């Protein structure tokens, strides 16, 4: 059964909506958002994605103002989410859910996710029996399909999907820069989802704008091959080309972005061999300027007395430094925090030096771990 009803693969992520005041995340420009919603639906796209805390808790209100009160309920599908950080009792689950139904005016949710799943949040969702709770919402027709979004490593994802086969889909961070990342593990997580037969929704295909503003050499590489194609289109099509990906979310902030995305995703074509080759070159160019040139061989971890996930931490540190300036939220810090629930923190390093003795790249690992600690543990 296709739970995405053969919908076009582009979803409208309602997290980065146009604002009337750039310093106020809740000041959504409702008139511009209405125009964007209308254009999105007018071009045949149907999937909208919101969450409790998006746009300073105003995104769900905008759904009602711009979408559900203006368009027939069967003309679109809507995803919403429950976040572990806001539930402290069994009652909180229903309080939030009923408020979400009221705020959005949706009547029911086509897709509902346990949001931001990882080692720590998984324990909270189990403590408050959220998987059973969500399955009950589905049985009562208040939710059509249940899933979760995920920010952790592939081993954790495999464990959760093994323990909860009732989950129907997963939402993963996938983009060409994170595809082979030791920290984010996009490829490995995607492969786990495939193994469990779970369709994938992609979040952060452009890394919150990072892959829309690439180095000049990368832009030249893309424009030489396809002068008319936008830089972000390469990132979104990379994710959409994966066979088990059913939806790619894009947090569109203005009409120009929406028209561009809906244009090339109207009849999206998988990447050809030459395009894949250029993306590999782009990744090499971007990574050539990384702060810590770790290759991820993991020789350093075997004898570490503090069990520090050194390659993963270096990968996340490099990725965080590559982000565009001014982003209000970056995922790498969360991946770091999740890893520290299983491994030692960077600051736990005792400076024994065994890692440096086996590093093929002869990296100053002890000093680099201090940089990572200063960056993520402040």
- pLDDT tens profile 56-108: 899 999 999 999 999 999 999 999 999 998 999 999 999 999 999 999 999 99
Q: What is the rounded CA–CA span in Å between residue 234 and residue 289?
A: 21
Helices then strands, each counted (H, E), the chain: 16, 8
> What beta strand segments (E) does the chain contain?
10-13, 47-49, 77-83, 109-117, 143-150, 169-173, 200-203, 245-250
- What's the pLDDT score for residue 264? 96
Which residue's structure tokens are 């020789």?
299
- What's the pLDDT score for residue 296? 77
162 close to 131: Cβ distance less than 8 angstroms: no
- What's the pLDDT score for residue 6? 84
Query: In this structure, what token pair is assigned to residue 349?
Result: 């390093």
Which residues in the chain come in under a pLDDT of 50?
Answer: none
Distant-in-sequence contacts of 373-377, Cβ < 8 A, 24+ apart:
373/345, 373/346, 373/347, 373/349, 375/317, 375/320, 376/313, 376/316, 376/317, 376/320, 376/332, 376/333, 376/336, 376/337, 376/346, 377/345, 377/346, 377/347
Give the β-pairing of 245-250 and 10-13: parallel
Please report which helix (H) or strand (E) contains residue 330, including its range. Answer: none
Query: In this structure, what token pair is assigned to residue 50?
Result: 């919101």
- pLDDT tens profile 297-315: 777 988 899 999 999 999 8
What secondary structure letter does DSSP report for 237?
H
- What's the pLDDT score for residue 360? 65
- The b/e string for 211-228 (b: 16+ C-beta within 10 A; e otherwise) is bbebeeebeebbeeeeee
């Amino acid at each position: 059964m296709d739970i995405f009803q053969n919908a076009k693969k582009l979803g409208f992520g309602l997290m980065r909506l146009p604002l009337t005041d750039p310093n106020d995340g809740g000041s959504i420009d409702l008139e511009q958002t209405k125009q964007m919603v209308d254009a999105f639906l007018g071009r045949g796209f149907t999937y909208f994605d919101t969450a409790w805390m998006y746009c300073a808790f105003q995104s769900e209100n905008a759904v009602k103002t711009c979408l559900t009160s203006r368009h027939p309920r069967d003309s679109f599908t809507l995803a919403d989410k429950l976040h572990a950080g806001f539930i402290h009792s069994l009652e909180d689950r229903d309080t939030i859910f009923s408020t979400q139904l009221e705020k959005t005016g949706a009547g029911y949710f086509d897709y509902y996710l346990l949001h931001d799943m990882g080692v720590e949040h998984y324990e909270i969702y189990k403590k408050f029996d959220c998987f059973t709770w969500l399955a009950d919402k589905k049985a009562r027709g208040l939710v059509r399909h249940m899933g979760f979004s995920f920010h952790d490593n592939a081993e954790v994802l495999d464990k959760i999907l093994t323990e909860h086969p009732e989950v129907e889909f997963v939402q993963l961070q996938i983009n060409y820069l994170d595809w082979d990342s030791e920290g984010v593990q996009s490829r490995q997580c995607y492969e786990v989802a495939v193994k469990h037969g779970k369709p994938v929704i992609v979040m952060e295909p452009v890394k919150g704008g990072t892959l829309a503003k690439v180095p000049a050499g990368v832009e030249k590489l893309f424009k030489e091959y396809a002068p008319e194609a936008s830089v972000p289109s390469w990132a979104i099509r990379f994710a959409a080309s994966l066979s088990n990906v059913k939806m790619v979310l894009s947090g569109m902030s203005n009409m120009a972005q929406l028209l561009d995305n809906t244009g090339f995703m109207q009849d999206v074509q998988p990447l050809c061999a030459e395009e894949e080759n250029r993306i590999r070159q782009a990744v090499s160019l971007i990574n050539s300027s990384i702060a810590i040139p770790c290759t991820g061989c993991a020789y350093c971890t075997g004898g570490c007395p503090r069990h520090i996930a050194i390659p993963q931490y270096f990968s996340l540190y490099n990725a965080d430094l590559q982000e565009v300036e001014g982003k209000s939220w970056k995922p790498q810090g969360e991946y770091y925090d999740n890893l520290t629930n299983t491994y030692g923190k960077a600051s736990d390093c005792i400076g024994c030096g065994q890692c440096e003795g086996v590093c093929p790249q002869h990296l100053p690992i002890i000093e680099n771990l201090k940089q990572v600690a200063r960056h993520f543990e402040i």
